[in-house]
């Protein structure tokens, strides 16, 4: 390439500066706020462009690491730096990588690679001293990271003690969250009108920095180990995984040793097909030189090891036309904009709707009806509009989208509460809100009225047969005969299901009421500790609620406020008058359980974990996920692992499943 003129150099320098500033802003949004504005793919493209510009002016600018330090948490230094991985979206680069390192190593033969999924989570460094977990650190700036030890200790399968007596060892791996938990939390956030997390990765990094470890525990994070920093000496990468497994870590189960680079390509294609079956999100494939001697010869650059490389899957994106913007109104009145799209094929399914998140997001991206937009769906996330192809707007007249000031259903003026991005309809009688409240009331984890689904509820509200939740219990045969497709059999079945739902458990009833910030879990926590509905309604103070494990200040306040409102109390009285009865889980004072702290490990044959937990609590005990000196009894099923070993070391009493059954009887 010919020498650059001073003018060209200046232009490139200016571009580098602009691009660096932009990347820095996105780093902040991604690492510190866990709320990125652009997708990983767009981010990687910015970085690739910066790298390209830098290569034109070698000494002029240095690409920096992302930095996830919050500035609030204590930090600690890593004993060996936590590096990043060089990555690509292009298969040709995979072969170039192989050629490059063979050249560096002066090897003509094939190189053996370890190939495995790239887990889309959050990197952590676990420092064990004399076998005990001392620090858990985020990557931070690669040199020092945030101390998130207390939160990491809530991860159920993570060993707090390992059989490794060396003075210090660093275990590297990825923290992630299962999709089911991610969806549950986002759903709860949506109900509260809070900003949604775009994917499980962002929620994981938001979670790991929370101050409330109990909240972190409830989010059930997981950990997969994939490397050893300080303190490891291995022959192959394969041995690293065997070692990690022996120590009790969940390590990569899905890995392939490839004899040559062509096989790596094969595995990349295979993993791309199989990735939906993994329990974690994966955004690509990592391949590592298998032999540690060769790894050592190759060494690292300032940013990444030279012996590893990541191929990233392109996110599934498609372009289509935004036909309209409609609105969904939730049971608490939150108004969510929805993109109605010209149907388009994305990840094998036909997408015709996508989320537009909130008014601010539409404004920021300047999304207009009629625009050609880019829809993205990566992993399990809801399809979202990530951008607009503004160039297609040129010859068309389009208008900026103005978010309505009034509720699209009942015309009430929308409110924007302090610190909330969501707009809310304040009218409790708004038809859509009523429909959503009734849907929630009848749903599986609430009153569980089989057959009373969304469509039927909508029709009954439209026909004015249901105006409030309580009307469910005064539905008559003739109300249902009026509907199409409803014959004797379906009418009788539905009425019998409605009748059947009247005898319910307290937690279901509390959940069904739709108290803001009270979902299934909080309702269960409440019901375990509050003796009756009457007491919950009349005799509970914020302090009493705060003494219940799992209930925080905001939820406590919301519960007290709910029962102060006359309309809520009237609704409950109406429901009780129509025959709803809630049984409570009585806490027996079983001396084998009472006041004791239990932990569980391995699979029980007779009960699920959740059921075992309820039984322990019903008998007066409580349950934790961590083994520490406060634990009185460990119940060990089959497939016992690290927890059992830890309990034995700590001298904690151990029960078999049989001991547990005997204690219950
Ligand atoms: S090996 C020096 N293996 O990807 C880093 N990393 O984008 C060697 N990651 O910071 C890491 N899955 O947090 C490795 N199977 C895997 C991985 C993995 C996810 C993360 C890791 C790294 C990031 C780079």
286 lines ligand 1 (CB under 6 A): yes
Choose the weakest-confidence range: 54-58, 204-208, 216-220.
54-58
Topology (CATH) of 597-664: Rossmann fold (3.40.50)
User: Residues 469, 472, 474, 475: what is their CA dihedral angle, to the nearest 10 degrees?
Assistant: 140
Average pLDDT over residues 593-614: 85
Bridge partners of residue 377, in order along the sequence:
316
**Beta strand pairing call for 132-138 and 122-129:** antiparallel
The closest-lying atom of ligand 1 relative to the alpha carbon of residue 117 is 15
Find, among 582, 597, 482, the residue nearest to 531 by Cα: 582
Cβ-Cβ contacts under 8 Å for 116 (sequence gap 6 or more): 226, 252, 254, 255, 256, 285, 286, 287, 288
Q: Which residue's entry shows tokens 């029980």?
A: 604
**Phi/psi at 343 (nearest 5 deg)?**
-55, 140
What gap in Å lies between CA 301 and CA 403, rounded to an integer?
A: 49
Q: State which of 27, 67, 85 you would mutate to test the pocket of ligand 1, scoring each by most atoms of that ligand within 8 A of its C-beta.
A: 85
Ordered alpha helix ranges (H), 134-176: 149-152
| Residue of 10, 32, 103, 118 marked catalytic | 118
CA of 644 to the centre of ligand 1 (A): 30
**Residue-wise pLDDT tens digits, 115-143:** 999 999 999 999 999 999 999 999 999 99
- Give the torsion sign (CA, 542, 547, 551, 552): positive
378 band by pLDDT with thresholds 50, 70 and 90: low
CATH number, span 431-583: 1.10.150.20
* Residue-range domain boundaries for the chain: 6-60, 75-312, 317-424, 431-583, 597-664
* CATH for 75-312, options being 3.30.70.1020, 2.60.40.10, 3.30.470.30, 3.90.79.10: 3.30.470.30
C-alpha angle 174/231/259, rounded to 5°?
A: 65
- Mean pLDDT, rounded, of the chain: 87
Three state DSSP letters for 282-301 = EEEEEEEECEHHHHHHHCEC
Cβ-Cβ contacts under 8 Å for 83 (sequence gap 6 or more): 142, 300, 303, 304, 305
The domain defined by 317-424 carries CATH number 2.40.50.140? yes
Tokens for 311? 């191929």
Question: Which superfamily is assigned to 6-60 in CATH?
Answer: Helix hairpin bin (1.10.287.610)
CA distances 210 to 33, 120, 121, 251, 411, Å, are: 12, 20, 16, 25, 39
**Does residue 118 carry a catalytic annotation?**
yes
Exposed e or buried b per residue across 320-329, where buried means at least 16 C-beta atoms within 10 angstroms of its C-beta: bebeebebbb
Average pLDDT over residues 399-425: 89
Q: What share of the chain is helix, strand, coil (3-state, %, to 5)?
A: 40, 20, 40
118 lines ligand 1 (CB under 6 A): yes
User: Residues 397, 401, 405, 411: what is their CA dihedral angle, to the nearest 10 degrees?
Assistant: 70
The closest-lying atom of ligand 1 relative to the alpha carbon of residue 139 is 10
Give, for 573, the enclosing helix (H) or strand (E): helix 566-577
CA of 185 to the centre of ligand 1 (A): 26
- Tell me the residue length of the chain: 665
User: Do 582 and 505 meet the contact criterion of CB atoms below 8 Å apart?
Assistant: yes
**Beta strand pairing call for 622-624 and 597-601:** parallel
Tokens for 257? 């040793």
CA of 625 to the centre of ligand 1 (A): 27
43 band by pLDDT with thresholds 50, 70 and 90: confident
Per-residue confidence (pLDDT) for residue 379, from 0 to 100:
53
pTM above 0.85, yes or no: no
pLDDT at 628 over 90: no
């Amino acid at each position: 390439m010919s020498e650059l003129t001073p003018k060209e150099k200046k232009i490139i320098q200016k571009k580098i500066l602009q691009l660096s500033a932009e990347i820095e802003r996105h780093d902040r949004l991604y690492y510190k706020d866990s709320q990125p504005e652009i997708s990983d793919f767009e981010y990687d493209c910015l970085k690739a462009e910066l790298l390209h510009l830098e290569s034109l002016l070698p000494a002029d600018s240095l690409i920096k690491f992302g930095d996830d330090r919050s500035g609030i948490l204590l930090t600690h230094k890593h004993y060996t730096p936590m590096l990043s991985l060089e990555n690509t979206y292009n298969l040709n680069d995979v072969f170039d990588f192989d050629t490059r390192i063979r050249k560096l190593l002066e090897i003509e033969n094939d190189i053996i690679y370890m190939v495995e999924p790239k887990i889309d989570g959050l990197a952590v460094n676990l420092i064990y001293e004399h076998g005990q977990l001392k620090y858990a650190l985020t990557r931070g700036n690669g040199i020092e990271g945030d101390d998130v030890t207390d939160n990491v200790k809530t991860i159920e399968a993570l060993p707090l003690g390992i059989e490794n007596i060396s003075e210090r060892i660093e275990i590297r791996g990825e923290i992630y969250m299962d999709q089911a938990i991610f969806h549950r939390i986002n759903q709860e956030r949506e109900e509260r009108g809070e900003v949604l997390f775009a994917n499980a990765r962002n929620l994981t990094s938001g979670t790991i920095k929370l101050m409330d470890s109990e909240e972190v525990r409830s989010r059930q994070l997981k950990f997969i180990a994939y490397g050893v920093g300080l303190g490891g000496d291995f022959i192959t990468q394969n041995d690293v995984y065997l070692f990690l497994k022996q120590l009790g870590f969940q390590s990569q189960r899905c890995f392939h040793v490839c004899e040559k680079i062509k096989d790596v390509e094969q595995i990349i294609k295979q993993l791309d097909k199989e990735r939906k079956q993994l329990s974690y999100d994966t955004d690509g494939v990592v391949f590592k030189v298998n032999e540690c001697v060769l790894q050592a010869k190759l060494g690292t650059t300032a940013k990444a090891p030279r012996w590893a490389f990541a191929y990233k899957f392109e996110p599934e994106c498609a372009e289509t036309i935004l036909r309209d913007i409609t609105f969904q109104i939730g049971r608490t009145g939150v108004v969510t904009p929805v993109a109605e799209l010209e149907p388009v094929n994305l990840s094998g399914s036909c997408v015709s709707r996508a989320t537009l998140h909130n008014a601010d997001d539409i404004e920021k991206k300047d999304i207009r009806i009629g625009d050609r937009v880019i829809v993205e769906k990566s992993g399990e996330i809801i399809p979202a509009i990530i951008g607009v192809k503004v160039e297609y707007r040129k010859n068309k007249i389009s208008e900026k989208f103005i978010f309505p000031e009034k509720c699209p259903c009942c015309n009430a003026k929308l409110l924007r509460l302090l610190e909330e991005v969501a707009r809310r309809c304040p009218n409790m009688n708004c038809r859509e809100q009523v429909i959503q409240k009734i849907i929630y009331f009848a749903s599986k984890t609430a009153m569980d009225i089989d057959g009373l689904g969304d469509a039927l509820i909508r029709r009954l509200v439209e026909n004015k047969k249901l105006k409030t939740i309580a009307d469910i219990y005064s539905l008559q045969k003739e109300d249902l005969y009026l509907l199409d497709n409803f014959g004797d059999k379906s009418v009788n079945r539905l009425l019998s299901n409605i009748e059947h739902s009247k005898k319910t458990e307290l937690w279901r009833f509390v959940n069904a009421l739709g108290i803001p910030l009270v979902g299934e879990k909080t309702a269960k926590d409440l019901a375990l500790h509050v003796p009756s509905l009457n007491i919950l309604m009349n005799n509970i103070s914020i302090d009493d609620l705060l003494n219940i494990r799992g209930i925080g200040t905001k939820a406590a306040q919301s519960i007290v406020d709910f029962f102060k409102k006359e309309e809520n109390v009237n609704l409950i009285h109406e429901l009780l008058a129509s025959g709803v009865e809630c049984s409570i889980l009585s806490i027996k004072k079983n001396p084998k359980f009472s006041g004791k702290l239990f932990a569980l490990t391995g699979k029980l044959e007779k009960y699920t974990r959740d059921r075992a937990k309820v039984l322990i609590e019903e008998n007066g005990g409580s349950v934790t996920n961590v083994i520490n000196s406060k634990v009185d009894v460990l119940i060990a099923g089959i497939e016992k692992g690290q927890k059992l070993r830890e309990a034995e070391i700590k001298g904690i009493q151990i029960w078999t499943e049989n001991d547990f059954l005997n204690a219950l009887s």
